[in-house]
Amino acid sequence: MHKGSRSVLVPNPHGRDVSIGLMRKIIRDSGLTVEEWLDLQS
């Protein structure tokens, strides 16, 4: 995930889906809103 010069790597050693709650926490901790993160995906 990238925003400007900021990037966040989410390791997933188990290869399973990341839960919605964990993904929201990662997004918040990175300083983004969910809407900003979704905008980066398009």
* Domain extent listing, the chain: 17-42
Query: Using CA atoms, how far apart are residues 40 and 11, in angstroms rounded to an integer?
Result: 19
Residues 6+ away with beta carbon under 8 Å from 18: 10, 12, 26
Q: What is the pTM of this model?
A: 0.61
Mean pLDDT of 6-11: 75
pLDDT at residue 23 above 80?
yes
pLDDT at residue 18 above 70?
yes
Q: What is the pLDDT of residue 21?
A: 92
Tokens of 11: 């390791």
